Structure 1
Amino acid sequence: MIPINVSPETREQFVRNIITAWHSATSEQQQCGRTWYRTAHELAAMMTDGNPRAGAGVIAALSANKSWPENLRLARQACETGLKSGHFTDALHKAAQIMAGADPADVLPMERKTGQFFRLIANPDDPDAVVIDRHAHDIAVGETYGNRDRGLSSAGRYALLGHCFREAALRLDELPSTVQAVTWVAHTERIAGTGTRSSRRAA
């Protein structure tokens, strides 16, 4: 597990690792990453009859430890008929609150992965939000951790990696979310078949 308080040199190495991953992406991976959150936004709107903010909240609430296809299946079910099982009780409760009219920003942990995921699906042009999942961690650190604990429940560690992606994005003149999504696609396609879970999702 990386320390929360790293040296400026280590922080700079994390930024360089992200930039290297960005440049390793093929043109197809670039295109997939660049359109990922916009496609998710459209899906969120479709499953809620034109309310992408609510749809984004439900998707984000049900995203933890789920592949993208499974995440979407659960979100669609929650929007259409309600959801009583298939996820942690807390996630089900948050999805139900959002479907009942609660603002996702009042329900989700906005400075953590699910909150940032919601922000980007609701607004793919968000200039600051960035999703830090296990793959984003590994991209920045420059090492695939597999099943080892990355400590991303720590607000400080999440903030550190988020800062590194924002700095890399600044140097690349891109949105942080675009850098995260493109590098995510390139990284997960590279490690596919190595025993770590991978599916076509950017978070």
Structure 2
Amino acid sequence: MIPAKPAPKDVARYVANITAAFNRATDDQAARGRQWYPVAHDLALIVGDGNARSGAGIIAALSANKSWSENVRLAKDAGTGNVHGHTGVMLAKVSAIIDGTDPADVLPMEMKTGHFFRCILDPSDPDPVVIDRHAHDVAVGERYGNRDRGLGAKGRYAALAHAYREASLRLDEIPSVVQAITWCVQIDDNTGR
């Protein structure tokens, strides 16, 4: 597990790894990455029955430890009133959002789920950075598999988000685009595409 407060040389290495993954993207991976959050936003409109904020909250709440395809299936089910397939805590958050609670009041806004919500809600937002297991592995330059990445530690999350923001500045992109493109590269590498 990386340190919760990595040294500047480590952060520089994370930035270099992120930049290298971004630059390795094929045209297809870059195109998929650039469309990732806009497509997720369209899904949020469907899940939220026209309310992107609610739909994005539902998708984000159901995202922890789920593949994207499973996340989509559970969110679509929740959008029709069938809330299932996750922990009791997450299902309670989804139910609260469906009942009208603002997602920002129930999601951990400083961590992955909150950032995921913000990226889906507004794909052009230049601030949020989704640090999931794939973003972590891109930054550290190593596949962790099922090992704990410690992304619940606010300092570790913030350090990795900072690295993505720094890489984004160098690449003249917003962090969510850099994260989504490198996510596509990482997923394809993991599946041997």
Scaled by the length of structure 2, the TM-score of the pair is 0.97
Structure 1 counterpart of 2:55? 55
CA distance in 2, matches of 1:5, 1:59: 30
1:22 is the counterpart of 2:22: yes
Question: What's the CA shift for 1:184?
Answer: 0.6
Contact 1:82 1:96 in 2 (8 A): no
Question: What's the CA shift for 1:29?
Answer: 0.2
After TM superposition, what 4+ stretches of structure 1 lie above 3 angstroms from structure 2? none
Contact 2:21 2:138 in 1 (8 A): yes
Residues 173-182 or 142-151, more deviating: 142-151
Can you list the C-alpha shifts for 1:136-187, whole angstroms capped at 9, x where unaligned?
A: 1111111111111110010110000000000000111100000000001011
Structure 2 counterpart of 1:178? 177
Listed as ranges, the matches of 1:1-203 within 5 Å are: 1-83=1-83, 85-192=84-191
Structure 2 counterpart of 1:197? none
Question: What's the CA shift for 1:104?
Answer: 0.3
Say which SS state the counterpart of residue 46 (structure 1) adopts: helix
Question: What's the CA shift for 1:5?
Answer: 2.1
User: Aligned AA for 1:36?
Assistant: W
Say which SS state the counterpart of residue 109 (structure 1) adopts: coil
Aligned length: 193
Say which SS state the counterpart of residue 163 (structure 2) adopts: helix
Say which SS state the counterpart of residue 151 (structure 2) adopts: coil
User: Aligned AA for 2:154?
Assistant: A
CA distance in 1, matches of 2:163, 2:76: 34
**Structure 1 residues not aligned, in runs of 5+:** 195-203
Can you list the C-alpha shifts for 1:58-88, whole angstroms capped at 9, x where unaligned?
A: 01111111111211111111111231x3110
CA distance in 1, matches of 2:6, 2:86: 35
Contact 2:49 2:79 in 1 (8 A): no
Structure 2 counterpart of 1:198? none
CA distance in 1, matches of 2:9, 2:48: 46
CA distance in 2, matches of 1:120, 1:48: 16
Contact 2:48 2:56 in 1 (8 A): no
